[in-house]
Amino acid sequence: MEYENQELLNRIAQGSEEALGLFYDRISPSLRGMLQKILASKKEAEEVLEETFLSFWKRALTARSEGVASEVWLVFAARSAALRRRKLQSEGNEKAGELPEAWLPRIKDISQLSGRMPLFTSSLAQLSTPQRRVLEMVLFEGCREKEIADALGKPAGRAQDEVRAALSFMRQRLHTLMGTWTADI
Amino acid sequence: MDCRHLEDLYELFLLRALSETEETQVLEHVERNCPACLEGLRHAGMMLYALLLSAPPVKSSPKQKGRLLRRLKEA
Ligand SMILES: [Zn+2]
């Protein structure tokens, strides 16, 4: 039987190990793909995946996260743990990469996005090569804008413009794909 | 609160990629529960979720899943 993420997450919150297993089957390949991109070592990626799922399980049993897309918490927690391993984001403690409830997207937004993710990420191909490179550096290498400029030997303003133009382009694409943009900003 | 100058910063804030000065600017709004900034962060989180999961998927072995499930029982 095909469960919606939300149904699985509700069951996980009630302590269902079976639901966690099913959720693991669903999300772990892409999560592992992200981790492998951050950490060259397969073994380390496996370890971080396991540790993050354990934290996710403990959090699910205690947090009251109604309406909140917990899978986003999981992805950020995994990224942050992997970057700590790589010692690229050494500042901050273990909890530093964990997003507070109030910052997390709503379930309805993530469900709406799910089916459109391949179309959305295919737009990455429309970025220029330098824009794609700097985006990779912020996403998967944990670089701050200043560090990108230093690493690529570019003026700080130029590197910053490239990162922000890439993000702005993707934001517009998401806006178009999602149809309705509900942010009142 | 006027937050238009922060619109480009939410993704970088969540990725911890901003300079300290800009990070503080966003944090000041967020800590005061600025509704526009919290909404901006949620949209940014949604976009980053998709981007971070865009790497080619890698399947884990059944052995690894088994080990995780065993550890859950102990947790
Ligand atoms: Zn604000």
Instruction: Give the model confidence (pLDDT) of B31-42 as tens digits.
Output: 999 999 999 999
**Cα of B45 from ligand 1 centre, angstroms:** 16
* B3-38 residue pLDDT tens: 999 999 999 999 999 999 999 999 999 999 999 999
Instruction: Tell me which chain B residues have a C-beta less than 8 angstroms from the C-beta of A171.
Output: 11, 43, 47
**Cα of B40 from ligand 1 centre, angstroms:** 8
Which of A:93-152 have CB within 8 Å of B? 96-97, 99, 102-106, 109-110, 113, 117, 120-121, 124, 135, 138-140, 142-146
Report d(CA A162, CA A166) in Å as an integer.
6
Length of chain A: 185
8-state DSSP, A109: H
* Sequence-distant (≥ 6) Cβ neighbours of residue B57 within 8 angstroms: A29, A30, A32, A33
**Where would I find the H helices in chain A?**
5-13, 17-38, 42-62, 70-85, 107-114, 117-122, 129-140, 145-152, 156-178
Ranges in chain A, pLDDT < 50: 1, 181-185
Residue A24 has phi, psi (to 5 degrees) of -60, -45
* pLDDT at residue A125 in the model: 97
* pLDDT at residue A96 in the model: 63
Residues B32, A11 contacting (CB under 8 angstroms) = no
Q: Pick from A32, A113, A144: which is nearest to B18 by CB?
A: A144
Q: Pick from B47, B58, B75: which is nearest to A33 by CB?
A: B58
Q: Which domains does chain A have, with CATH numbers?
A: 1-93 (1.10.1740.10), 96-185 (1.10.10.10)
Beta partners for A68?
A: A106
* pLDDT at residue A183 in the model: 44
Interface contact flag, B16 A164, Cβ < 8 Å: no
**Cα of B26 from ligand 1 centre, angstroms:** 7
Report d(CA A42, CA A165) in Å as an integer.
33
* pLDDT at residue A111 in the model: 87
* pLDDT at residue A60 in the model: 87
Residues B58, A32 contacting (CB under 8 angstroms) = yes
Instruction: Tell me which chain B residues have a C-beta less than 8 angstroms from the C-beta of A49.
Output: 60, 64
pTM of the model: 0.92
A68 in helix, strand or coil? strand
Instruction: Tell me which chain B residues have a C-beta less than 8 angstroms from the C-beta of A37.
Output: 55
